[in-house]
Structure 1
Amino acid sequence: MKKPHIHASHPAVITRLKKANGHLSSTIEMLVEGRTCLDVAQQLQAVENAIHQAKKILIQDHLDHCLEDLLGSVDKDQQNSIEEFKEITRYL
């Protein structure tokens, strides 16, 4: 059995996903109720944003911790490249 893979950011990711779940449930209810397409589209945007933020938090945390653990000690140039890579991924 694998040991749990838990990071400090996981509670924040869980919170975001629960928020997305709530928005998605609301979207379904809105469709059932016959709400306007504009209302539904706005709610779907909220779902997308919550999921996007959860993914971003998870990936950033992975890069900040798992990648560094994997690489161990590297020289100054390699460390600069890693830092630049981590920084540019914030724009994804």
Structure 2
Amino acid sequence: MSEPHVHASHPDIARRPRRAEGQLRKVIEMTEAGRNCLDIAQQLQAVESAVAGAKRTPVQDHLDHCLEHAVGAMSRDQRQSIDAFKAITKYL
């Protein structure tokens, strides 16, 4: 088994699914209580946002730390492709 791979962002990554879990429970309660569709849709959007943030955070963290370590020092011109790749992943 490999050694733990811990970054400063890991507590935030764990927080987001917990938040989504609570929000998803709320969606179930709202649906069972017959709440209106707009309220339910808004709560579902919050669930999606929490999950998307949880997914995006480790990708960004990996790019910021692991990729930087792997490619090492580069000139400004060489870094343009790496920087562009990192920037575009924010839209995942």
Q: Distance in 2 between matches of 1:36 and 1:67?
A: 46
Q: Does 1:46 align with 2:38?
A: no
Q: Distance in 2 between matches of 1:83 and 1:19?
A: 31
What is the identity, as a one-letter code, of the residue corresponding to 1:83?
A: D
What is the identity, as a one-letter code, of the residue corresponding to 2:82?
A: I
Q: Does 1:23 align with 2:16?
A: no
Q: Which residue of 2 aligns with 1:4?
A: 4
The TM-score normalised by the length of structure 2 is 0.85
The TM-score normalised by the length of structure 1 is 0.85
Q: Report the CA distance between 1:91 and its aligned residue.
A: 2.6
Q: How many residues align?
A: 92
Q: Which residue of 1 aligns with 2:37?
A: 37
Structure 1, gaps ≥5 residues long: none
Cα RMSD after superposing both structures: 1.6
Q: Distance in 1 between matches of 2:39 and 2:28?
A: 12
Q: Distance in 1 between matches of 2:42 and 2:55?
A: 20
Q: Which residue of 1 aligns with 2:63?
A: 63
Q: Deviations over 1:29-51 (max 9, x none)?
A: 11122212222111101100111
SS of equivalent to 1:64:
helix
Q: Report the CA distance between 1:76 and its aligned residue.
A: 4.0
Structure 2, gaps ≥5 residues long: none
What is the identity, as a one-letter code, of the residue corresponding to 1:22?
A: G
Identity %: 55
Q: Deviations over 1:54-88 (max 9, x none)?
A: 22222111110111122234444332211121122
